[in-house]
Amino acid sequence: MIVESPLKPEQASFRQVIPAGDYFLKVIQAGETLRILDLEGNQAADTLFYNAHTPTERYSAMDTLREQGNVYLTAGSRLMSSEGNVMLEITADTCGRHDTLGGACAAESNTTRYALAKKCMHACRDSWLVAVTEHEELGLSKRDITHNINFFMNVPVTADGGLTFADGISDAGKYVELKAKMDVLVMISNCPQLNNPCNAYNPTPIEVLVWS
């Protein structure tokens, strides 16, 4: 569902461009709004959310999909935690839908999906492992890297229930906006993937904006 935001970028309290292959970590306070902006189009922003105070409570794809009765995320979607609480709500979306079924790329998935020779290529799971290793104060480990959302990624479900990784439906300047319902730690891997048609084999930067 396409919903434009009334928020103006020049009034954002925080802005940062994240190059492809980098990670991004930030606590978003309850009531703040987070925008993820696809600067050049067809990029995938692989994202995890945690309760900022108790990170064992985290985003749950299965609870979110069951509660909304739909497999795609878009404006109106309420992102549920593993404890059944609403973490964030998508309040604006100019892309139309986002994936939470496909999972993040990893050395293992690169090997099985593409080729053994792709195993050593940089993947989202590596970026998250670097993030939690460089930020021991968060108390997170690889066990905490679970369900994620692939913002801007197109993983359509076929009529007979199949999953396909398809060419992206996002474009330069499209964005998704989320209002935090609790203090959340957001951890994004701006996907470095070179083998997936979702990003036209060309990883590009994204921008994160926050309004207080």
Instruction: Report the interface residues with Zn ion, using CB under 5 A.
Output: 46, 105, 124, 191, 193
**Do the Cβ atoms of 59 and 81 come closer than 8 Å?**
yes
The residue written with tokens 């994620």 in the block is: 148
Taking the complex as a whole, how short is the minimal distance between the CB of residue 4 and Zn ion, in angstroms?
28
Residue with Cβ nearer Zn ion (55 or 103): 103
**Ordered alpha helix ranges (H), the chain:** 61-68, 107-113, 124-134
Taking the complex as a whole, how short is the minimal distance between the CB of residue 56 and Zn ion, in angstroms?
24
Residue with Cβ nearer Zn ion (1 or 115): 115
Going from the C-alpha of 20 to that of each of 38, 54, 80, the distances in angstroms are: 11, 29, 27
End-to-end CA distance of the chain: 25
Taking the complex as a whole, how short is the minimal distance between the CB of residue 179 and Zn ion, in angstroms?
25
Taking the complex as a whole, how short is the minimal distance between the CB of residue 150 and Zn ion, in angstroms?
8
Residue with Cβ nearer Zn ion (92 or 191): 191
Residue with Cβ nearer Zn ion (125 or 174): 125
Going from the C-alpha of 170 to that of each of 24, 163, 173, 180, the distances in angstroms are: 21, 18, 9, 23
Q: What are phi and psi for residue 93, nearest 5 degrees? A: -160, 115
